[in-house]
């Protein structure tokens, strides 16, 4: 294994609940009831690449795409002043850097917003490669973002582990030729759907990260004594 690639929202940072409250508040301003099922369908998509249009169309909102996206980021920013890394994330990334593994972020979030979140959580300086939603043409589940990340890392998909929390994200990684994808659970996704999408192992943090590190350290010991 040469590199580890992390999705950001829902994997490195617990932002899904903030997105949920953001959409809920905005929709309430137009007397539109919030739908958890519809929200789950959006996970892993990029607002600027069809996500916002899909919401506007679904709920017949009197806003254009630009207005709606600006409103989302404004409300999200208000709700996310105290962002923290998910439990076990910081320890995992530090351990990987000590093992001289390449570490990357492949997120559907646009660059400016993603950098702000990574800065707030203290994660920004740990990554060898960061690829953002506005640096690719197509959103997950299209493999473009992962193909781009692999190219920047200079590694093959068979030599990479990915951490994702959405069906779209898992499919994106697998479609890019990545064999091992870990499904990161939270309160707004479902283990069975992640497994059906192709995740090899599914668990909540910090257990999923500690399990992964145990496997890595075991491999390192085997390599040392072989």
Please list the active-site residues: 7
d(CA 34, CA 25): 9
d(CA 175, CA 169): 10
d(CA 226, CA 224): 6
d(CA 149, CA 48): 20
Q: Which candidate, 46, 53, 37, places its Cα nearest to that of 7? A: 46
Query: Helix 89-98 vs helix 207-225: angle between axes, to the nearest 10 degrees?
Result: 20
């Amino acid at each position: 294994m040469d590199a580890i690639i992390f999705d950001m929202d829902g994997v490195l940072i617990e932002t899904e609940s903030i997105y949920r409250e953001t959409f809920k508040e905005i929709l309430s301003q137009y007397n539109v009831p919030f739908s958890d099922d519809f929200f789950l369908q959006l996970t892993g998509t990029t607002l600027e690449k069809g996500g916002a249009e899909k919401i506007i169309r679904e709920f017949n909102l009197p806003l254009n795409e630009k207005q709606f996206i600006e409103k989302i980021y404004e409300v999200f920013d208000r709700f996310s002043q105290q962002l923290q890394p998910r439990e076990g994330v910081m320890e995992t990334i530090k351990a990987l850097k000590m093992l001289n593994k390449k570490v990357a972020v492949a997120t559907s979030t646009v660059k400016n917003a993603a950098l702000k979140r990574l800065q707030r959580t203290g994660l920004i300086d740990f990554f060898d490669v960061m690829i953002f939603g506005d640096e690719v043409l197509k959103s997950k589940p299209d493999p473009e973002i992962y193909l781009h990340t692999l190219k920047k890392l200079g590694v093959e998909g068979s030599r990479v582990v990915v951490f994702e929390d959405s069906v779209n994200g898992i499919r994106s990684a697998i479609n890019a030729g990545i064999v091992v994808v870990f499904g990161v659970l939270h309160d707004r996704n479902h283990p069975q759907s992640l497994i059906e999408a192709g995740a090899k192992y599914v668990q909540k943090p910090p257990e999923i990260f500690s399990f992964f590190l145990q496997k890595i350290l075991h491999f390192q010991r085997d390599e040392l004594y072989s």
